[in-house]
Structure 1
């Protein structure tokens, strides 16, 4: 009995150790190297809408970047979909322009990628709940791929 507990503890420690080492291998959240990638994560909830804005910093050699493997996992007591608008703002000035629209499942996973953005462009995810305004919990993951 005691050896099973020790074995389970060792597996948990090993898993945490491996995930910690893997996490430390990524670029810092402040700067993505040219021809490199950066994993980004955000979670939360909303009832009507929510906006998450990002201002990525890159090295001097970076010219453009894309958001790849964008994954939104959602759950809600409501049924149906909500809209995800990926918008950009050129050099932090002017109006936000929608570059990608996706219909996300309130209970499920949605995947998409975006067109290229130029260095200096900010981007944001604007999530708008349609129909029933029941709470939607979400977790989002994506890769900022710079080149």
Structure 2
């Protein structure tokens, strides 16, 4: 009797222990599964964040490049304008210089002509004076001759 009771109790203990172990295993499995899910979600969020960060960085880089390109274009345009302005200025300066040179040349020619004309006038006057002197001399001689003749 006693032996049978002991055997029954042992069997019951065995069964209970087995059930408890199974329950524990189940609990562990559930916990493990939950942990896995959490880890998966974490990994997914991390990946998404990384992607987002990369995209943002790429966008920033692109924006910077665009800005740089625009700045370069602007600088080129300004340089072109400046160059054109400079060219125009130099051209204008050259034109003014040419005009001045031309004016100076004309003035020089005029001065020379004036000097030549003055010289010519002086020469003509001298000639006229010589001729007049000769005439006077002739007239004087004639007068003297007439005086002598009259006497």
What TM-score range do you get, normalising by the shorter chain? under 0.3
Which is higher, the Rg of structure 1 or of structure 2? 2
The TM-score, its normalising length taken from structure 2, stands at: 0.22
TM-score of the two chains, using structure 1 as the length reference: 0.23
The structure that is helix-richer by fraction is 2
**Which has the larger share of strand?**
1
